[in-house]
Amino acid sequence: MQQTLTLPEGTIASRKADKRRAFFRRKVVPWLFVLPILSINILVVAAPAFSSVYFSMTKWSGIGSAEWIGLANYQALLADPGFHHAFMNNVLWLAMFLTVPIGMALIAASLLAPIRRGAIVFRLSLFIPYVLPSVVSAALWRSLFSPDRGIPALLTDMGIPGFDKAFLGDSRTALPAIAFIDNWHWWGFLMVLFLASMQNIPPDLYESARLDGANRWQEFRDVTLPGIRPTIVFMILMTTIWSFLTFDYIWILTQGGPARATEVLAVLVFKEAFRNFNAGYAAAIGLTMSFFVGCVIAGFQVLRRRGWEI
């Protein structure tokens, strides 16, 4: 004969209450802790993003009411030679920064990695330009690029041809000159990141490579580069994003001139919004920049899903 145990109703109710309290602690309480910062993020990130989508489809000066015009701003953008020119300047900027500073940083990091005595001095000296404010660096290099008293004047006095010009005032040299200045500011940061990544590579790998007869180049190619590949790929991604957002040095030194030779998308957005008072069109350009950045991030995500170690 089987007997059925029946729990008192109070015990069942108590267990249900315990489950509700446990669910509240595990699922609800963590969200209550992050709610303040989440609200701030929604306020300062999501709200402006959605408002930009709306204003990009309006004719708006930035003040007063906005007139709905649909996709007219995007149609004008596709036909705007100024937008095409600024986009190509961003592409040139990206090409320069995916090669020169990353290459310089890799070489410097590989040379500094074996150094133990006095290494901190070299690292600090190369990292200092990165911590200088952009305004200070730009003012310094504007003086150094002066054709009257800067480096060009010195080289011209030494009899070296081709430097008797205002590099920041020549439409052919202005963008490379600003890229040179920004590279001086940027590559030391890359070098520190690559150096930190190299120091995490197990020394046994280098010893095994030397036992196999590898020279310095083979060690760098077969041990160092694979060991720091995630860092390199990540910095390529960030450099690509930052290249489409570059603004400070260009605006401080040339404001997009001469003759729009250094005008990039971020400068074009600023001019349209605050000089031409065409905030709706500026919002459309800004969202197009976000679309480019999103495509880059999506491309890297696709590569990761296909097995790339990124």
Q: Report residue 21's pLDDT band, with 50, 70 and 90 as the boundaries.
A: confident
pLDDT score at 218: 92
DSSP 89-117: HHHHHHHHHTTHHHHHHHHHHHHHTT--T
86 and 231 assigned to the same domain: yes
Q: Report residue 301's pLDDT band, with 50, 70 and 90 as the boundaries.
A: confident
Residue 81 lies in a domain: yes
The pLDDT tens digits for 135-165 are 999 999 999 999 888 888 898 888 888 888 8
Residue 2 lies in a domain: no
pLDDT at residue 133 tops 70: yes
Residue 67 lies in a domain: no
pLDDT at residue 243 tops 70: yes
Residue 222 lies in a domain: yes
Segment (H or E) for 58: strand 58-59
pLDDT at residue 5 tops 60: no
Domain of 101, in residue numbers: 72-305
Mean pLDDT of the chain: 88
Residue 22 lies in a domain: yes
pLDDT score at 1: 47
19 and 155 assigned to the same domain: no
103 and 174 assigned to the same domain: yes
Number of domains the chain contains: 2
| CATH number of domain containing 93 | 1.10.3720.10
15 and 111 assigned to the same domain: no
Residue 233 lies in a domain: yes
- Give the rounded percent of residues in the chain with a pLDDT score beyond 70: 94
- Give the rounded percent of residues in the chain with a pLDDT score beyond 90: 57
Q: Which of 9-13, 179-183, 280-284 has the lowest mean pLDDT?
A: 9-13
Residue 20 lies in a domain: yes
- Let me know: does 191 contact 102? Beta carbons within 8 Å: no
16 and 137 assigned to the same domain: no
The pLDDT tens digits for 44-69 are 888 888 899 999 999 999 888 999 99
16 and 150 assigned to the same domain: no
pLDDT average, residue stretch 3-12: 55
120 and 29 assigned to the same domain: no
Residue 265 lies in a domain: yes
Return the closest-CA partner of residue 284 out of 46, 43, 59: 59
Return the closest-CA partner of residue 57 out of 248, 286, 238, 226: 286
pLDDT average, residue stretch 239-259: 93
Structure-model confidence comparison of residues 148 and 282, the more confident one = 282
The pLDDT tens digits for 152-207 are 889 888 888 888 888 999 999 999 999 999 999 999 999 999 999 998 999 899 89
Amino acid letter for position 191: M
